[in-house]
Amino acid sequence: MNANFKPLGLAAAVATATAGYAGVANAQSYASSTELGDLAIVPYYTVLEGYATGVNIINTSAQTQVIKFRFRRATDSMDALDFNVVLSPYDMYTGFLSAAGDDITWTSNDNSCTAPAMTGNKFTMPGIYRADADTGYIEIISMGSPEDEAMALAVNALHDADGMPEDCDLVRDNFFDMEGESYGNVNFAETIDSDGETTTYVASPDSLKVSYFIKSDETGVEFGDNAVHVAGFLDGPAMTNQEKGIFSADLTGFDYPDLNGGVPTDPASRGKYNELRGILGAEALINDWSANSAGDFTVDTDWVITYPGQYAMLVLPTYLQSLIGAADCLRTVPAGLASEAPCDFRDIPMTASITVYDREEQGIVVEDGELVVSPQPPVLTPTLELPHEVNVIQWGEAPVLNAPVAITGLTTPEGSKFGWANLETTPADDYLMVCDWDLSAAPAVGYSCAAAEGSAAVVGFVAWQRAFASLPAANYGRIVEHSRVQSSS
C-alpha cells in the first residue's frame, strides 16, 4: 500500500509565508502525573553500534483506537517511517527498530492489525529519508476511535480467544484513498471497508500508555522509561489514508496527523503545535552528569535534547524541494532577492548556556586575582550550539549512545567526576513562525505562517552507563528524564 513513499514531485502548493498572530487556548496537558494520553513522544531511538530500540503501546481503555506510529530522523525530523496500528480494547502492541545490513527495520510478532500489512513480521524503512535516520525520535498519535464498538473496524480488529483479530484485511480496507474504489478513507471521520460497512469515528480517549527501551546486545546495557505523554492533544478524529501523501498532492494521506494537529482538510483540527509549545516548552533543562573513570570501572553519561515538531516551523513544500536541490530554504532573504520568501522559521539551531556543578555545589572556578590593568574581559558562561532536532551531549570519555554526531569537550569543575548541570537555551533568532497548509483560497492551495508562541517544545533525558571492563555481564544503564524550568509568563 505504501508504494507512493518514493518522491514523485510536489504539485500541491506554492509556498508563501505571511506573518500574523492568533492566540490558541491551551487545552492540552502534560500528562506526567498520569503517564496516559492521546499523544506520546519517545525522545530518542537508535539502531547504531548494535543498539535496538523497542516500544510498548497499551490501550488501557474499552474503546478501539487507531494510532499513527511515526519515526522521525534526528537531523530535521523528516518522516522516515510510518504506519498505522489498530488496537482493540485493552490491547498491547510491541516491537523493536534495528539495523539489518544497510536497512532499518521495525519487527513485531504482535497480532494487532497494522496498515499496511507487515512482510515477514517486518516493515523496512523506505529510502526517501533513510539518510541520517539511524537515530531520531518517535511520535505516537491517536487518530480516532469507532463511535461504537459494534462498528465494522472495531469488530474486525477484536482479538478472539486465540489472540487473533477477526479480519485484518477488512481493517486495512479502511486505509485506502478510495480513488477508483468503493472503499477506503472517506474523510477524517468516516471510512468504508470492502464489505460496504461504514465506521464513523470520534476522538480517542487519553488512554495510551507508551514506554520504550534502548538495548545493546553487544554490551548487554539496556535503558528504558515512559514516553512523554500529552493528554487532550486532538479533540476530534483524524483518520487518514495510508496509500498516498503530499508528494502525490494528497493532504488526507499518511503524513497526518502530526504534531500540528489532525488532517489539513479539517482546518479546525490544526494549529496544535503552539499549544504543544505551551506545555513542553522550557527555558532550561536540569539533570546530573558523570565522567567517572576508575580503572576498569567507568560511569559515563550522554544527554539527549530533542526538539520535536520543528518541521511545523518550515514552509514544507519549499523545504522538501530544497532536499533535492530544486529550491532554497532560506532563513532570511538576502538583499536583492526580494522575490524570494523565507522558508525556515525554526527555533534551531539553539544556543545553550551551560552551568556545571559538582556534587559539592562547586562550579567552574576562575581564580581571583589582585587589582588588574583594565580592561579585562568578563568571565563568560560556556555556550554550545544544538543544531538539530535531536542532539546528544557526551559528558564522559566514552560514548553511551554511540550517536553519529555528539557534542563533546565540555568543561567540568576541576577534579570532579560527577555532578549536575543547568542548560539554558535561546533560539536562533526572534523570527519564529508556525506554518501550515492554507486551504482558504480553494481550489488553490497555499502555505502560510503565523507567529510561534512560547518556548521551543523540548524533551529528553540523561542516559547512564556503568561499565566493567573485566566483567561485561555486569554492565548496566538507566535513563533519567530532564527536569525543566518554564517561563512564568
372 pLDDT higher than 70: no
pTM of the model: 0.89
pLDDT for position 275: 94
Tell me the per-residue pLDDT of 81-111, one tens digit each, with 9 for 90 and over: 999 999 999 999 999 999 999 999 999 999 9
pLDDT for position 361: 59
Nearest to 354 by CA among 433, 403, 435, 410: 410
Tell me the per-residue pLDDT of 464-481, one tens digit each, with 9 for 90 and over: 988 777 776 677 889 999
pLDDT for position 367: 43
pLDDT for position 261: 98
Query: Using 50, 70 and 90 to split pLDDT, how confident is the model at 398?
Result: confident
Looking at per-residue confidence, does 261 or 7 come out higher? 261
Q: What percent of the chain has pLDDT over 90?
A: 71
Q: Name which of 14-23, 53-62, 128-137, 359-368 the model is least confident about.
A: 14-23
pLDDT for position 175: 98
pLDDT for position 486: 81
Best mean pLDDT range from 196-210, 286-300, 325-339, 459-473: 196-210
Query: Using 50, 70 and 90 to split pLDDT, how confident is the model at 19?
Result: very low
φ and ψ at residue 307, rounded to 5 degrees:
-110, 85
Nearest to 198 by CA among 159, 236, 147: 147
Q: Is the distance from CB of 77 to CB of 120 less than 8 angstroms?
A: no
406 CB-contact burial (10 Å; exposed 0-12 / middle 13-18 / buried 19+) = middle
pLDDT for position 341: 84
pLDDT for position 462: 97
pLDDT for position 362: 52
The average confidence (pLDDT) of the chain is 87
Report how far apart, in Å, the C-alpha atoms of 246 and of each of 153, 361, 441 are: 26, 52, 18
The per-residue DSSP string of 359-414 comes to: TTS-B------SS-PSP-PPP---EEEE-SSEEEEE-SSS-SS--SS-B------T
16 pLDDT higher than 50: no
**How many DSSP H helices and E strands does the chain contain?**
4, 28
10 Å Cβ neighbour count for 383? 12
Q: Is the distance from CB of 448 to CB of 438 less than 8 angstroms?
A: yes
pLDDT for position 443: 67
pLDDT for position 474: 72
Give the distance between the most distant pair of CA atoms in the chain. Answer: 88
Q: What percent of the chain has pLDDT over 70?
A: 85
* H helix or E strand, kind and range, residue 276: helix 273-280
124 CB-contact burial (10 Å; exposed 0-12 / middle 13-18 / buried 19+) = middle
Interior CA angle at 45 toward 470 and 87, to 5°?
125
Looking at per-residue confidence, does 3 or 449 come out higher? 449
SS3 434: strand
Dist. CA 2–CA 70, nearest whole Å: 14
Query: Using 50, 70 and 90 to split pLDDT, how confident is the model at 370?
Result: low
Q: Is the distance from CB of 452 to CB of 259 less than 8 angstroms?
A: no
Q: Name which of 6-15, 126-135, 225-234, 292-301 the model is least confident about.
A: 6-15
348 pLDDT higher than 90: yes
489 pLDDT higher than 90: no
Dist. CA 150–CA 127, nearest whole Å: 39
Query: Using 50, 70 and 90 to split pLDDT, how confident is the model at 383?
Result: confident
Nearest to 320 by CA among 2, 78, 3: 78
Report how far apart, in Å, the C-alpha atoms of 172 and of each of 96, 117, 185, 460 are: 22, 8, 10, 34
* H helix or E strand, kind and range, residue 231: strand 228-231
